Structure 1
Amino acid sequence: MTTERDEAAPQALAEPVRRVGGAWIALFGAGWLGVWMAQLTPVQLLLPLQVEQHVTSGEWTDSVVAFGVISAIAGVFALVTFPITGALSDRTTSRFGRRRPWIAAGAVLFAVALFLLGLQSSLAGVGLWWTVAIIGFCVLSAALTAAISDQVPVDQRGLVSSFISAPQAVGLILGVLLATTLFTGQFFGYTAMAVLLVVLVAPFCLVMPDAQLARSDRPVLTVRAIVQSMWVSPRAHPDFGWTLTSRILVNIGNALGTTLLLYFLMFGLRDPNAEDDLLLLIVIYTVFVVVASIVAGALSDRLGRRRIFVLAAAVLQAVAALLLAFVPELTVTMVAAALLGLGYGTFLSVDQALATQVLPDPASRGKDLGIMNIATAVPQAIAPLLGAAVVSWLGGFPGLFLLSALFGFAGAVAVSRVRSVR
């Protein structure tokens, strides 16, 4: 039902009430598939191999630390880029709309940085261009995420959000397969990801309806106003604060539980077929992420409930981490991969829908979702360095997985405090 506020609001700021069609969703999902292949294939394969070429000590922890430092530096820039890009897109009055210019600019920057990354032969160059690539990723994904709250009605957001999470799982395995079979080698691997990114994002960018914001409706555009807008008071908007806290905790837990999985197989389980078994684990994880995200997203729309799904997802991930900590066997690791996929797939789709329903102001959707996106990207960036430190300090992988479980349970507690959304 259209409310008085919807009728009175400018078109660009009104709460959407018309359901998006299958073509919109398909192009949206294809765009995210390109984004995730371009971001996850380097993180999981290309970047670690590139870094390892420059680490001569022979110690696996040194390679992880070097990779972690580069990821952490990029994470710092992501911390700033997400909300600032969102705030600027909220204020964009281009005739092409608010989000489309940022989607296009982010995709081009991301692709160019990946291409140049494939040409680097020093750690400094790798660090520089990966940081630029992450800035492009943040610009692009901040604008794409905001399209949900701009154009998708509340009762469809669980399903549509699953077309962010399902492509994430598919993009990981598809990107790794392409980079290890068709586009082998550093240069061709990065170049392929750059080309696929542009090819898959461009159709959605070109055909997406994007209402133009009138200058009279634009929030104040000054450096001071943008900086001040970065603070969202948890006292005034507690549900935003609890949702953000939950997202940070669950994503840190998931990152700790998955980032060092190859090293866990190699040095924790002493698995002689670690690389092959890692691919099997990724397939198991991917299948459960895809199924869980689509089913849970659609079911949460139908039931009109979000919290219970997010809470259950956080607990499932914590239980999987406990299995890895206390029963370090390959068969149990496969069960844990399934539980992690089930939990994380559910979390990705339903939590994204939940986040769009606790935003403080329709005029700042891009900025507020940019802040929410920090909680997804930054934990992944710092996880390699943090994970290596935890394994060293706590005497092995059990301590790492116990910490992962603690973060999962804490995320469940945080989301249970949300009150405005069922």
Structure 2
Amino acid sequence: MSAPSPAPADAPRSTGFLLLFALANAGAVISYLPLLTLLLPARIGAIAGDTRLDLFTITVIAGAAAASLSNIAFGWLSDLYGRRRRWVGLGVVLTAAAYAAIALATTPVTIVLAIMAFQIAINALLAPFLAIMADEIPDSQKGVAGGLLAFAAPLASAVGALLVSLTPSDTVRLLFIPAAVALCVVPLLRTRARPLVAKPVARTLAPPRDLAIAWVSRLLIQISGAVLSLYLFYYFQSLGPRPGLAASVAQVLTAAYVLSLPIAVVSGRLSDRIGRRKPFLLGAACAAALGLIGMTMTRDFAAASLCFGLFQIGSAVFLALHSAFATQLLPDPDHRGRDLGLINLTNTLPSLLGPLLAWALATPRDFDAVMLALAALAICGGLLILAIRERD
């Protein structure tokens, strides 16, 4: 097989390729979001009974540790041996095998081991996949590509809701998800790799300091998102009794996810056109912080829902554009997979740090202190972006 044809550094990718990239990202999110939010808690409840919370905590922590290490490892391996699409394909296969292991797990030890294997498998898919964005999508399109990544959350949420409503069988659900993942990811694998070639004029590479600042800024925003995703139901419960609260919260989440998508795409496209990401990142972080502050100032469900929606839109735009921004800051083209694996720690560490913050500041009837702390973190995350010098 002949080597992939390089393209000029500024040659745009087709809209079709960008959509396939977004679809593949949605497949990756489908692989873990319904499992971790809906199917795993039910599975652990069936295995552990009254000790389900203890087992769930152990499983989440063990899985997060496996995810952190394996993302760096598979990113580095795809740097070392190339052929990122083959590594992504391997991740799809391993993910299917991990789901089979989860379906067969019937004891606490086996479910913990199965989730650790699952986290390794999904990161075999994710690490090289995200490096494709740095390798093949020019900077002039990274904003819209990052915005399209916001498509994944509402689609994955819809898949989870569909699974729960259509079938009561855990086994059927666990078999359906890897099939859906393959359907979303394989079309991208059939495209031809087209790595970018450096411009003839030497381009100043970003110093590692800039990537470190970007890392911290994303971590601060992600901690806010992690706390809200875990404790949102309890926050709304603290506002007062409401019939059908679970269904109402699900509707609020769905609406916020759906509204985030077009705003993230438009913001990404505008940042591509003007060639600057920082104003959009700062504005998105401030919007997220305002939403959090608003959640402390109302006891009305409708008003709190609007404030949460503002937070969700702001954080979704920030994270989508940050993905584009970070790929432009990678200091060494030969280690993009490894460096993106280090950035991925901002996705796993918040699941460990966020609950500690909520435990220290929140009570079942009062979430004001933790919301204000999260707002401060969001503002700091946005302000840190200003310390990074954007490059041509």
1:66 and 1:313 mapped to 2: Cα distance? 36
387-396 or 45-54: which moved more? 387-396
Of 178, 198, 213, 1:194 maps to 178
Aligned CA distance change for structure 1 residues 185 and 266 (closer, same or farther; 3 Å)? farther
Alignment of 1:14-413 (within 5 A): 16-54=9-47, 56-57=49-50, 66-93=55-82, 98-172=83-157, 174-209=158-193, 236-266=207-237, 269-379=240-350, 381-382=351-352, 385-386=355-356, 389-390=359-360, 396-413=366-383
2:353 and 2:48 mapped to 1: Cα distance? 19
Q: Tell me the CA shift for residue 15 of structure 1.
A: 7.4
Letter in 2 for 1:255: A
Q: Tell me the CA shift for residue 272 of structure 1.
A: 2.8
Per-residue deviation, residues 278-332 of structure 1 (Å, max 9, x unmatched): 2211122112221221111111101111011111112222222222233233112
2:255 and 2:98 mapped to 1: Cα distance? 31
Letter in 2 for 1:22: T
CA contact (8 A) 1:107 1:140 kept: yes
Q: Percent identity?
A: 23
2:280 and 2:192 mapped to 1: Cα distance? 30
Aligned length: 382
Letter in 1 for 2:300: E
Per-residue deviation, residues 160-215 of structure 1 (Å, max 9, x unmatched): 1222222233222x122222122433222221111111121112112242569xxx
Per-residue deviation, residues 106-146 of structure 1 (Å, max 9, x unmatched): 11112221232133233322222122111122121111111
Q: Tell me the CA shift for residue 92 of structure 1.
A: 0.8
2:141 and 2:265 mapped to 1: Cα distance? 12
CA contact (8 A) 1:67 1:384 kept: no
1:211 and 1:32 mapped to 2: Cα distance? 19
Q: Tell me the CA shift for residue 54 of structure 1.
A: 4.7
1:331 and 1:396 mapped to 2: Cα distance? 18
1:309 and 1:38 mapped to 2: Cα distance? 30
2:323 and 2:86 mapped to 1: Cα distance? 23
Aligned CA distance change for structure 1 residues 43 and 247 (closer, same or farther; 3 Å)? same
Match of 2:389 in 1: 419
1:117 and 1:78 mapped to 2: Cα distance? 16
SS at match of 1:260: helix
Q: Tell me the CA shift for residue 350 of structure 1.
A: 1.0
Which structure 2 segments of 5+ residues have no match? 197-205
Aligned CA distance change for structure 1 residues 68 and 268 (closer, same or farther; 3 Å)? farther
1:321 and 1:63 mapped to 2: Cα distance? 31
2:48 and 2:391 mapped to 1: Cα distance? 49
Alignment of 1:6-21 (within 5 A): 16-21=9-14
Q: Tell me the CA shift for residue 257 of structure 1.
A: 2.0
2:107 and 2:354 mapped to 1: Cα distance? 20
105-114 or 202-211: which moved more? 202-211
Match of 1:230 in 2: none
382-391 or 105-114: which moved more? 382-391
Letter in 1 for 2:356: L
1:64 and 1:388 mapped to 2: Cα distance? 17
387-396 or 116-125: which moved more? 387-396
Q: Tell me the CA shift for residue 247 of structure 1.
A: 0.8
Aligned CA distance change for structure 1 residues 414 and 391 (closer, same or farther; 3 Å)? same
64-73 or 236-245: which moved more? 64-73
2:349 and 2:97 mapped to 1: Cα distance? 22
Aligned CA distance change for structure 1 residues 317 and 122 (closer, same or farther; 3 Å)? farther
Q: Tell me the CA shift for residue 21 of structure 1.
A: 0.7
1:287 and 1:352 mapped to 2: Cα distance? 19
Q: Tell me the CA shift for residue 22 of structure 1.
A: 1.9
Root-mean-square deviation (Å)? 2.7
Per-residue deviation, residues 340-374 of structure 1 (Å, max 9, x unmatched): 23202211221111101111011111111121122
Q: Tell me the CA shift for residue 55 of structure 1.
A: 5.3
CA contact (8 A) 1:162 1:349 kept: yes
SS at match of 1:18: coil
Q: Tell me the CA shift for residue 82 of structure 1.
A: 1.6
Scaled by the length of structure 1, what TM-score is found? Answer: 0.83
Scaled by the length of structure 2, what TM-score is found? Answer: 0.89
Aligned CA distance change for structure 1 residues 67 and 317 (closer, same or farther; 3 Å)? farther
Match of 1:4 in 2: none
2:218 and 2:89 mapped to 1: Cα distance? 27
2:12 and 2:207 mapped to 1: Cα distance? 31
